[in-house]
Chains A and B, each alone.
Chain A
Amino acid sequence: MSYALLSLAIGAVLGAFAPIAVPVAYAKLFSVALLASLDSVFGGFRAAMEEKFDNTIFISGFFTNALLAVFLVYVGDHLGIDLYYVALLAFGLRIFQNLAIIRRYFFRKHG
């Protein structure tokens, strides 16, 4: 757990001081990617709780989810379909679902 938090902090510091900035035009895509990544991480957490954690699935899911989400939103933008909100809704719902499940497991373990 601690190494995960530590690397999160390292990443945060790197992001804060990185000399690159995402152009405003891509801010929307970036936020979708972020949400997808968050979803993957919570999904991984949940899998770990269920003791079904698979490293390959986790890693591949993390990146393909983010990239696919970005790709879909990008294509949707060009086709005039606002997939952005769909992605937000889908990922958001899943994050909350995963959180609920994680909570249940947590209480079953410790309560």
Chain B
Amino acid sequence: MWGTLSKPQTKIVTSSARGRWAVRFRKLSNYLFVLPMMIYLSATMAYPIYVNLDMSLHDLNVRTFRSGDAPYIKFDNYKKLINDPGFRHAAGRSLTFTTISLGFQFLIGFSLALFFNRPFPLNGLLRALLLLAWLMPAVVGGTLFRWMADGDYGVFNYFLQSIGLGRYKDYWLLNPDTALAGTIIANVWVGAPFHMILLYAGLQNIPTTLYEAASIDGAGAIQRFIRITLPMMRPVMLGVLLLGFIYTFKVFELIFVMTGGGPVDATTVLPIHIYRLTFAFFRFGEGAASAIMLLLGLLLLAIGYAQLIHAEEAA
């Protein structure tokens, strides 16, 4: 209807040869605007990923490192990894670490966001202070927790002792049963404020008129939360969970500083396993293959998320 009206007009403009070129140029010049970004992305993203992919398909190790004749072995590196108990163990550790970390980070972050969503004195200052944990370099945070959980000098043990639970003292990060939990606690401490800040922003965007209207209709606090807050926050929550999952799955420094992946392999998550494969064992091909698998896993997640958002917007 509207389109049919405007069509004849464009035809008039493009009737002359000169006009046709003008349009073509304008279309081309549009791409010109995208060009810098394309160059940047291909240099910093596409190219390294391509190189990594190429490495993962070759038998690149100590012997073939410099000779340049690493044989093309198709997906053998991937097959080897899937059958490698070390890789499977690391993938399992990563999943455990990520899901538990994320669960607590999200719950604590959401609670804090709800808390700060009400006006009270010093609200802004306290929020900023909480964010400090997230701003702190992972090496600092990791070292801090490492000493707090120390078996001989740590403040956790001191605390247990002082409340009469001295018999439960432990070398928290050196005990295979508790080390992963220790790194999770540290990671929750680091990550929860990040969740809080994003969720808080989402809460601020919910129009207060909705709550006012609901109150007038007689909705209680719980009903307002379930019927207004949760549905309105859905896209934000999904985004935060996705980002949180990706961030947590990639955590390396924090764990490396706290336990170095040990004791034994209790905290050997995928990024640590990849680091070892590449820089300690010089199994470059396998290291590249596991990096690609990590990337693919996270990419699938991101695509799923995009689909979900798309479906939601269409509805």
Co-complex (A, B):
no
